[in-house]
Structure 1
């Protein structure tokens, strides 16, 4: 079966702390599989070679790149999450904003009842929305 899965490449050993944050923050989230670098492999021993996980029911993959790149995450690519509870949206926005960057503070921008756009402390961009119909 052909399937597309969002893939997050972290640098400097950030994959595990990011994974921990997402699993502790979002509902319906869990690890499916983690493969770690062993001694003598290209990445630091114990860092994530590849992980498969679920956030809000959506499958993702991530890794710690053993190669230092001159690029990182950009807000132009983001993860869009729709909520059915303003309290949950607000809590998750606050968690992601801690140590991150707010692009659009929580508010009513006309296209949803409540919306906020933030990059977390790892640089991953999130758009959080409470739809008009929720």
Structure 2
């Protein structure tokens, strides 16, 4: 019996907004899918209905997310970001616009020398995204 190949999956920890983020990210990619999702029940330990654990895929890349029922002093940081190569300018503009809504623009859409069009934004949940127009 062969062993499964090792995989490294980006893991996002939210505090009560995981499903909202998941639904939002699903809307940004045509080939997105929720692989599985488990919610907390009435017996906890998290708030009933919040995400105990979810696995989802965006553009063929798998992610995991949870709603932490433990409050913590840290959040997401732009030191780790999701880098998205967009095939068309329309795709880049649409995704950037949606991600910037309620978020923080770190590098507004523009030409920065290393790319014809690029933008960097923290979305409304604090997750950092770099969007690049594929050459």
Q: 1:87 aligns with which of 83, 90, 101?
A: 90
Question: How many residues get paired?
Answer: 131
How large is the RMSD of aligned CA atoms in angstroms? 0.8
Please report how far the alpha carbon of residue 16 of structure 1 lies from its aligned counterpart in structure 2 after TM superposition: 0.7
Please report how far the alpha carbon of residue 109 of structure 1 lies from its aligned counterpart in structure 2 after TM superposition: 0.7
When normalised by structure 2's length, the TM-score is 0.94
When normalised by structure 1's length, the TM-score is 0.95
Task: Describe the SS at the equivalent of 2:131.
Answer: strand
1:8 aligned partner: 12
Q: Which runs of 5+ in 1 are unaligned?
A: none
Task: Describe the SS at the equivalent of 2:30.
Answer: coil
List structure 1 segments (4+ residues) > 2 angstroms apart after TM superposition: none
Aligned mates of 1:89, 1:27 — CA distance in 2: 13
1:116 aligned partner: 119
Please report how far the alpha carbon of residue 96 of structure 1 lies from its aligned counterpart in structure 2 after TM superposition: 0.4
Please report how far the alpha carbon of residue 112 of structure 1 lies from its aligned counterpart in structure 2 after TM superposition: 1.3
Please report how far the alpha carbon of residue 27 of structure 1 lies from its aligned counterpart in structure 2 after TM superposition: 2.6
